[in-house]
Structure 1
Amino acid sequence: MARITALLFASLFLSPLSAASPTRASPLLASRQDTDNEGLHSLMLAAGKLFFGTATDVRYLDNKAHQAIVQNPNEFGMIVPENSQKWGELEKEDKGKVDFTNTDIIAAQAKGNGQLFRCHVLVWGAQLPSYVTSTSWTEKTLSDVLQAHITTTVTHFGSQCYSWDVVSEALSSSPDSNTLSTTSLFHQVLGASYIPFSFYWTSLAADPSSKLYYNDFNLELSPSKAQGAVDIVHLIRNYTSPTGEKNKARIDGIGLQSHLFVSSVPSLPSLTSTLELFTNLSLEVSFSELDISHSSLSPSPNATQIEQQEKDYMTVISACLAVKGCVGITVWGFSDKYSWVKDAFPGKGGGCLYDENMKNKGSWFAVAEVLRRAGVVRRGAVAVDASLDGEVAVAVNSTTTVEGEGGGGGGRDPDEAVRKAARSGELMRGVNGTELMVAAGEEVGDAQGKGQGVVNGARRWVVTGWGGWVVVMGWGFWGFWGILSS
């Protein structure tokens, strides 16, 4: 008789983390394996994604402890220059005098360590050269300068860049607005056309293998702003060049910056829905500047707040794992010592995966645990007993049968239950009350991308893959996602 195995990432909602220490979480589950020697990038690869990365820069080169972590390709498989590649850093002095030295150092590090290199950022309304902000521009003169900057910079780095952040933060910062920011110099002189113009010239200069991204904040928090990003995608794709060429401006991805605060992270359904808004446009997506900060560091965050931060990180990671087109996650600095948040928002912070002494925090272990489980399941080596009175226990390299019955099926044999659920599209309910949705269809494998809808308040769908595993995702009041194989 075939046996049913299931994995529920119940640590998101069902199995709370302990936060006894600010630098390390207690075991998430009784049978939790230690992740001390597993790097986040290696775990991300095992989970089927492309990278786990971090921002860094030349000003951290003298910190040996920091460098030992950032140059470990098992920990970070992608690095991105936090500031040194921005226009104002490249042309600090005279117009046309471009200095790539600092960014070249970071690019060489990435190459030497076998890490991907993300290039950031070509066109942004801040950190511009002084001559750009002080000159009275016409449409023609600013277009010429912008084109020259893009072409010179992109050509210099050539095929070194996995991706380019072509334009960042073009949308209004108003929470519920889908309109473009009118405070940008580029918008004031060139109007909305500066966005597709920038993608057009980047498309011409960039290596064909480099991905071209639009990058912005609060896309995951505001449906209106996310729709504004969708509008930008269409604007780029419908662009007619100055010479009358159509369909020459390329966009390949959307970066969700995700500068978030503890207890204000969107739900898993909300995050996956936002990611899918873009993947449905045949774009890849990534969480591009992730940090989850405490809204106050005085007094120091208590155990409950630390635990919530861990859960919030797990939610974001799980959202990327849940969406096929999410290729990876980049944190905007990995240590609280160098976090941009404490300078930009005094009194807030503590949002990184490492503390100021370069020690793994509880949030690091929470992220590692989610990735480790996903990787183990992808290799088909784990089973989970979901019948433990609201708890979930991982049993590695063993087989555990989920006890349950198919809705309307009337039988308690779990194999028959899942077969009936697969045929009827009804719920399979574990004895602890956890609900799993199997999409309708005689063959579950034929249900990929189908079965969406609402049953008893639980949104659900089924996707297949991962070495023969069937991925069942859904949530109700408590929220969860899981993996089934039969």
Structure 2
Amino acid sequence: MKNQIHFFIALFFTVLLCSCGKSFKYAAKDNGFYSGMAVTVGDIFNPETIKILQNDCSIIVYENSMKWANLRPNKNFWNWNDIDSLVEFAEKNNMRVKWHTLFWHQQNSPFVSSSWTREQAIQMMNEHIETIMSRYKGKIAEYDVVNEMFNEDGSMRQNIWYKTIGADYIELALKKAHQVDPDAKLLLNEFNNEEKGHPKADAMYNLVKNLKERGIPIDGVGMQLHLDARISYSEDAIRQNIQRYEDLGIAVSFSEVDVRIPIENSKAYESAQENIYLMLYKIASEMPNVTSFITWGISDKHSWVPYTFPGTGNALLYDEDFKPKPVYNEILKELKK
């Protein structure tokens, strides 16, 4: 009997020690979602950032290298080297790869033309999907098929694909993508679509519901979550939004997360930033259809935030010296509970 007691005591402390030593990505997996980061080409060759990625990420995505202007700067040249390197890195480190993005209204190549006929645009769209997805079939786990298709009022954005093809360009892209790689997860990605009741969030839900009901292949929705610590967000509205996707059988990716704070007097907003991050990780842990949580960058050193939202920054979990911030440690502590 005494030996049994000693055995169970030893087992308890072994489990406790393993739990305490668990890395960020495994703690996230235990909570039911993949943890990831957007990276640049240099990040997968820098020993300092490699270590962070290996510890924190089970899914990675390029911040810009998969977009038209970088991938296919002209009609006849495809820059595969960067993406091949990312796929190789991910395979070596047992990570999933997400593609961002097949179609977007920004960072297009010069030859992408609003003067195309509908037939020409569909042909180019299909060629783009076929070329990419056949090359990486079985290697890219999920795709942001269309990025940012709505205006703030919930109307459809008049991007080049909408203008040349029409409103059905989204379903045509989804159908073609599924045809080329039936196993890849297909997502629509957007910002300001996290809270139920926001015009853009409701428009996205109505679109996805319509697609789903008509049998169009759609697996998930990306909520970018580029948030501002000075703004109050409704946890209840976010949960309600995610729940209605769960009811449709649709996954949700927290796809580009950062929480910016003012550079001046930044200390005053660090607590608010921490609360927002903790809220999001809590939601991701508790809602079963949240499948990934990806921060948009590794550290503040190369974050897009200061350039896009002047006067703000410090939006990520690592500082400019690639050191984890207190908010990182608080999140990890919560994930290990």
Tell me the TM-score normalised to structure 2 length. Answer: 0.90
User: Is there any run of 5+ residues in structure 2 with no aligned partner, and where?
Assistant: 1-16
Tell me which residue corresponds to 2:308: 344
Tell me which residue corresponds to 1:101: 81
In structure 2, what is the Cα distance between the partners aligned to 1:120 and 1:191? 22
Tell me which residue corresponds to 2:239: 272
Structure 2 residue matching 1:130: 3-state secondary structure:
coil
Identity score, percent: 26
134, 157, 160: which one aligns with 1:181? 157
Tell me which residue corresponds to 2:165: 190
Deviation digits for residues 204-243 of structure 1, max 9, x if unmatched? 111x32211111001114532111112221443466xxxx
Tell me which residue corresponds to 2:190: 216
Q: Post-superposition shift, 1:307?
A: 1.5
Q: Superposed, which structure 2 residues align to 1:11-410 within 5 Å?
A: 37-47=21-31, 49-61=32-44, 63-70=46-53, 72=54, 74-92=55-73, 94-133=74-113, 136-172=115-151, 174=152, 177-182=153-158, 184-206=159-181, 208-221=182-195, 223-237=198-212, 247=215, 249-294=216-261, 296-299=262-265, 301-302=266-267, 304-373=268-337
In structure 1, what is the Cα distance between the partners aligned to 2:106 and 2:246? 28
Larger fraction in strand: 1
Contact 1:286 1:320 in 2 (8 A): no
Contact 1:220 1:266 in 2 (8 A): no
Contact 1:272 1:322 in 2 (8 A): no
In structure 2, what is the Cα distance between the partners aligned to 1:199 and 1:274? 22
Deviation digits for residues 293-343 of structure 1, max 9, x if unmatched? 11x2024x12x4112211110011111122111112111112001111112
Tell me which residue corresponds to 2:13: none
Q: Post-superposition shift, 1:143?
A: 1.0
Q: Superposed, which structure 2 residues align to 1:430-449 within 5 Å?
A: none
Q: Post-superposition shift, 1:36?
A: 8.6
In structure 1, what is the Cα distance between the partners aligned to 2:180 and 2:30? 34
Contact 2:33 2:284 in 1 (8 A): no
Q: Which amino acid aligns with 1:186?
A: W
Q: Post-superposition shift, 1:265?
A: 4.7
Q: Post-superposition shift, 1:258?
A: 0.4
Tell me which residue corresponds to 1:415: none
In structure 2, what is the Cα distance between the partners aligned to 1:151 and 1:105? 20
Q: Post-superposition shift, 1:202?
A: 0.5
> Please, what is the CA RMSD of the aligned residues?
2.0
In structure 1, what is the Cα distance between the partners aligned to 2:128 and 2:232? 36
Deviation digits for residues 51-74 of structure 1, max 9, x if unmatched? 11111120334543122212x1x4
Deviation digits for residues 405-448 of structure 1, max 9, x if unmatched? xxxxxxxxxxxxxxxxxxxxxxxxxxxxxxxxxxxxxxxxxxxx
Q: Which amino acid aligns with 1:211?
A: K
Contact 1:44 1:371 in 2 (8 A): yes
In structure 1, what is the Cα distance between the partners aligned to 2:37 and 2:256? 8
In structure 2, what is the Cα distance between the partners aligned to 1:90 and 1:238? 34
Structure 1 residue matching 2:248: 3-state secondary structure:
coil
Contact 1:313 1:366 in 2 (8 A): no
- Cα separation, partners in 2 of 1:347 and 1:37, compared to 1, 3 Å: farther
Contact 1:267 1:315 in 2 (8 A): no
Q: Which amino acid aligns with 1:225?
A: K
In structure 1, what is the Cα distance between the partners aligned to 2:179 and 2:187? 15
Q: Post-superposition shift, 1:144?
A: 0.7
Contact 1:117 1:162 in 2 (8 A): yes
In structure 2, what is the Cα distance between the partners aligned to 1:237 and 1:43? 32
